Amino acid sequence: MSKVLMKGNEALAEAAMRAGCKCFFGYPITPQTEISAYLAKHMAKRGGVFLQAESEIAAINMTLGAAASGVRAMTSSSSPGISLKSEGISYIAASDLPCVIVNVERGGPGLGGIQPAQSDYNQAVKAPGHGDFHMLVFAPSSVQETVDMTYLAFDMADKYRMPAMILSDGLMGQMMEPVEFPDREVNPVEKPWACSGHKNKREHNIINSLYLKPDILEDSVRSRYKRYEQVENELPDAESYLCEDADIVVTGFGAAARIAETAVNNAREKGIRAGLFRPKTLYPFPKKELNEAVGNAKAILDVEMNMGQMIDDIKLYTECRLPVYFYGRTGGNIPSAEEILHEIEVCSMKGEKAECR
Amino acid sequence: MLTEIIFSGFGGQGILFAGKTLAYSGMDMGKEISWLPSYGPEMRGGTANCSVCISDDKIGSPLVTSPDILAVMNTPSFDRFESKVKSGGIIFADSAMTERETVREDVEFHKIPASELADKNGLTGMGNIVLLGNMLKECGNRLGDFTLSAVKEAFKKIVPPSKPELLEKNIKALELGYAY
């Protein structure tokens, strides 16, 4: 198929349908509205259900219901709306249900603003809801990757029976880039656990997240964590760019990373050995890949569109062996390649001497 | 080579469409391209703008902060972006919509009464494309290797097939600006 020019949000919506998503439940919020708008237009024609719910909370619980019946289901929102969904996300995780949740991030906290930000890293990766659980988190940094990761998110959610998030942002969602939709067949996995009607031919399937006996609850959580071990072994993914001989490795995800790549190229032109490490999965975090990327580095510069959230993981997983500096813009402002280049220059002068802050 | 462009004007003037047309043509020519709209409350009756990047290499930030080329279709946009244009850059203004001339001495300045030309030729609302046509002519290589025919081809993809008269009008508007 030839390339078409599409917004990140529209491309995500198209990819979801091609990945076999049969139910979408949403509630409008900028900057994710094009996802709903696109699906409203196309979903019914292609044999799916589009439903605009009365609230974000309703939408996530409808997603839970659809997932429980065994179909591929998705909901999308932007930062404040995701906060509202967090209870439902926890229920979905506790019920071992696969689904895809899209967060097209905007500036926060509170109602914040409507311009792009990455301030929901911690929410997505550390605490998408109450209780002991994880959610798969994919962080695309181009429109094409948004498409590829949408397919992957549905597949991996089904494989591991857990919710998966596409952590996009206003920049990724609103920008248009050429994109190609790979031809692929949807091969839905068997879901013998689904509540899909059985005409009394088998035992009832029960999907539940309430366990009043501590031992039973502990067992259910522990068995889920066994699965997370498998996820952490199999799924981490990252891109390392010019890291082999890099003195300074810039770390960043999503939109921030693509801007940082320009800065890294500019730094190389100035004779600074800079590289870029970009996690594509934020949970599971590519720990091994990070350590390989910074193997020869003297310092790390973490760049994010927030006040510094992934930086904690960078320090943790490198065990603070190297000084880790930070540059971020927040509130809807986007760092420029020039600003990042300046930080690279400053950090490369500081080098090894500085303390890990 | 990376060329960064900002189109700017009032919502409803087809600012985003002009940018999209250029982006589509770039894509068809095998270039790396990105298109980013301003979004938010300012689009409702206020100003609208979009960033277009055309490059031979991978594009980093799709947000253009200092354009090589600026096209403005109203005075507020002129005021807002004039100082941001790179030294040696080019400003295109729809002189039917703004009387301003540039105060910069280090940029090239072109004015064309695009909206008026469109009106007079039965192409009301297509000043954006007249301006784009003029941009194609004046920029030459500085825009990449854009040709008039590449942009005409792009129209065929963007304009819905159900509205063939729009395709014809867009092409006419483009030629009008190119011939000015």
Q: Which of A234, A252, A287 is the last residue of a domain?
A: A234
Closest chain B C-alpha to A166 CA, distance in angstroms:
20
Query: Which pLDDT does position B25 carry in this prediction?
Result: 93
3-state class (DSSP) for residue A324: strand
Residue of A nearest to B40 (CA): A114
Q: Which of A234, A256, A273 is the last residue of a domain?
A: A234
Task: Give yes or no: residues A157 and A266 share one domain.
Answer: no
Closest chain A C-alpha to B165 CA, distance in angstroms:
23
Rounded CA-CA distance A238/A99 in Å is 23
Please compute the mean of the pLDDT values over residues B85-105 and round it to a whole number: 96
pLDDT bracket for residue A199 (50, 70, 90): confident
Query: Which pLDDT does position B42 carry in this prediction?
Result: 58
| High-pLDDT (> 90) share of chain A, % | 92
Please compute the mean of the pLDDT values over residues A288-306 and round it to a whole number: 97
Which of B34, B60, B61 is closest, CB to CB, to A177?
Answer: B34
Supply the CATH number for residue A222's domain.
Answer: 3.40.50.970
Q: Give, for A159, the enclosing helix (H) or strand (E).
A: helix A143-160
| CB within 8 Å: B37 and A30 | no
List, for residues B97-114, the tens digit of each pLDDT value: 999 999 999 999 999 999
**B53: Cα separation from own chain's centroid:** 12
| CB within 8 Å: B36 and A5 | no
Give B37's contacts in chain A (Cβ within 8 Å): 174
Task: Give yes or no: residues A8 and A97 share one domain.
Answer: yes
Task: Give yes or no: residues A207 and A253 share one domain.
Answer: no
Supply the CATH number for residue B130's domain.
Answer: 3.40.920.10
Read off the tokens for A157.
Answer: 């959610």
**Parent domain of A257:** 240-353
Closest chain A C-alpha to B41 CA, distance in angstroms:
9
| CB within 8 Å: A337 and B65 | no
Task: Give yes or no: residues A245 and A205 share one domain.
Answer: no
Which of B27, B36, B58 is closest, CB to CB, to A175?
Answer: B36
Residue of B nearest to A116 (CA): B39
pLDDT bracket for residue A357 (50, 70, 90): very low
Give B43's contacts in chain A (Cβ within 8 Å): none
Rounded CA-CA distance A126/A133 in Å is 9
Q: Which of A234, A251, A270 is the last residue of a domain?
A: A234
List, for residues A226-249, the tens digit of each pLDDT value: 999 999 999 999 999 999 999 999
pLDDT bracket for residue A137 (50, 70, 90): very high
Task: Give yes or no: residues A219 and A246 share one domain.
Answer: no
Q: Please state the domain count of chain B.
A: 1
Rounded CA-CA distance A268/B114 in Å is 43
Query: Which pLDDT does position A198 carry in this prediction?
Result: 87
Neighbour count for residue A27 (Cβ, 10 Å): 22
List, for residues A76-111, the tens digit of each pLDDT value: 999 999 999 999 999 999 999 999 999 999 999 999
Supply the CATH number for residue A288's domain.
Answer: 3.40.50.920
Distances (CA, A) of B139 to A56, B59, B91, B92, B177: 48, 21, 10, 10, 13
Task: Give yes or no: residues A96 and A147 share one domain.
Answer: yes
Q: Please state the domain count of chain A.
A: 2
Task: Give yes or no: residues A221 and A272 share one domain.
Answer: no
pLDDT over threshold 80, residue B174:
yes
Between these two residues, B74 and A183, which has the higher pLDDT value? Answer: B74
Read off the tokens for A287.
Answer: 């720990």
Chain B residues within 8 A (CB-CB) of chain A? 20, 23-24, 27, 32-37, 39-40, 58-63, 65
Query: Which pLDDT does position B44 carry in this prediction?
Result: 59
List, for residues B63-77, the tens digit of each pLDDT value: 999 999 999 999 999
The half-sphere exposure of A305 on its side-chain side, counting CA atoms within 13 A, is: 32
Task: Give yes or no: residues A119 and A169 share one domain.
Answer: yes
**Parent domain of B68:** 2-179
